[in-house]
Structure 1
Amino acid sequence: MPVSPLAFRSATDADIPGLVELIESAYRGDASRAGWTTEADLLEGQRTDPDGVARVVRQEGSRLLIAERDGALIACCQLEHRDDHAYFGMFAVRPSLQGGGLGKVIIAEAERTAQADWGVREMRMTVIRQRDELIAWYERRGYRRTGELSPFPYGDERFGIPQRADLAFELLVKPLD
């Protein structure tokens, strides 16, 4: 049976509960271990919450891009217009669908959308620097490590409960042609 095509759209307030569930399932707890993007060994607690997702959905110059198949939410990512570049974040693919090439399609659509809608020439993101496998995946997509680090928000449980004391974010960048 052929696989149905993906449909992309911007999230609305009605999508917030499903988006929180998707993002949590991709990064935290035992459910996240079904995929390869889990942060469960680095962080416990929540990855996001309804207020955090609502801010992205409602913020001017920002959107939460949703990927659906047959009406089912299967992936999402945040795009935010910041001056001459776009910020890419909150990237989540259902754990049971990870490893099959879906992430490549989503990030390509995110890059295309940022260029088409905002005319930006660069995509930026921050990734926990200890996530070697994930950073390598982004490098294969054309992103490069900058060595520029920013601190993890220790003490703010909205972003999780760190399981080690050396977490930091590294900036990755990709020129968009």
Structure 2
Amino acid sequence: MAITPATITDVPQLVNLINSAYRGESSKKGWTTEANLIDGQRIDEENLTLQLEDPNAVILKNTNDDGEITGCVYLQKRGKRLYLGLLTVSPLLQANGLGRQLLQAAEDYARSIDYHTIIMTVITTRVELLNWYTRRGYHKTGEVIPLNIPKSFGILKQPVDLCLLAKEV
């Protein structure tokens, strides 16, 4: 198992992984699903390619011994803070520690580029996910942001708000 930076050639596999973990029937096998709140895909190849080509961003990926990408996390410099998003683990591998390993790799990466605050947003009704991040040292900042997404990132089934979380690393 190795966590390394993703490349453009990884985009198709990453898109499949991310969509399988967040949306649709396959996502319901894991505990990170958003399928009950948001329809449609989570990401497409065009938008993920743009994120990967951003000079202020990186996607760290976990690859198993067969070369299959089983997890990833997106990191983007935003001012003096590093934004963490798309923390993804294959629904079939969730609850086995890979998410914690990816989160640790993200924090190690932040320190390696001299960033000491990581921020992220989590759906306010995802209590189990908020608790998971709290156990890992992240805290609510008090900022709540309404989720407004283009149709290419999904269709809201109801209004959704996001909690801003932060951690000093």
Same fold? TM cut 0.5: yes
1:56 matched residue in structure 2: 51
Say if 2:155 is the partner of 1:158. Answer: no
1:169 offset after TM fit, Å? 1.3
Say if 2:126 is the partner of 1:134. Answer: no
Preserved contact between residue 145 and residue 172 of structure 1 (Cα < 8 Å)? yes
Once residues 25 and 119 of structure 1 are traced to their aligned partners in structure 2, the CA distance between those partners, rounded to angstroms, is 33
Deviates more, 1:82-91 or 1:13-22: 82-91
Structure 2 SS opposite 1:97: coil
1:147 offset after TM fit, Å? 1.9
Once residues 159 and 147 of structure 1 are traced to their aligned partners in structure 2, the CA distance between those partners, rounded to angstroms, is 25
What is the identity percentage for the equivalent residue pairs of Structure 1 and Structure 2? Answer: 40
Preserved contact between residue 25 and residue 31 of structure 1 (Cα < 8 Å)? yes
Give the partner amino acid of 2:76: E
**What is the root-mean-square deviation in Å for CA atoms of aligned residues?**
1.0
- In the TM superposition, structure 1's runs of 4+ consecutive aligned residues that sit over 3 Å from their partners are none
Structure 2 SS opposite 1:55: helix
1:88 offset after TM fit, Å? 0.3
The count of residues paired between Structure 1 and Structure 2 equals: 168
Gapped regions of structure 2 (runs ≥ 5): none
1:163 offset after TM fit, Å? 1.3
What are the superposed Cα offsets for residues 104-127 of structure 1, whole Å, 9 maximum, x if unpaired? 1110011101111x2011110011
Structure 2 SS opposite 1:95: coil
The partner residue of 1:10 within 5, 21, 29 is 5
TM-score (norm 2): 0.96
What are the superposed Cα offsets for residues 99-158 of structure 1, whole Å, 9 maximum, x if unpaired? 111111110011101111x2011110011111111111111110001120122115x212
The partner residue of 2:38 within 27, 43, 60 is 43
Structure 2 SS opposite 1:96: coil
TM-score (norm 1): 0.91
Gapped regions of structure 1 (runs ≥ 5): 1-5
Give the partner amino acid of 2:161: A
Once residues 30 and 131 of structure 1 are traced to their aligned partners in structure 2, the CA distance between those partners, rounded to angstroms, is 18
1:51 offset after TM fit, Å? 1.4
The partner residue of 1:84 within 70, 75, 80 is 80
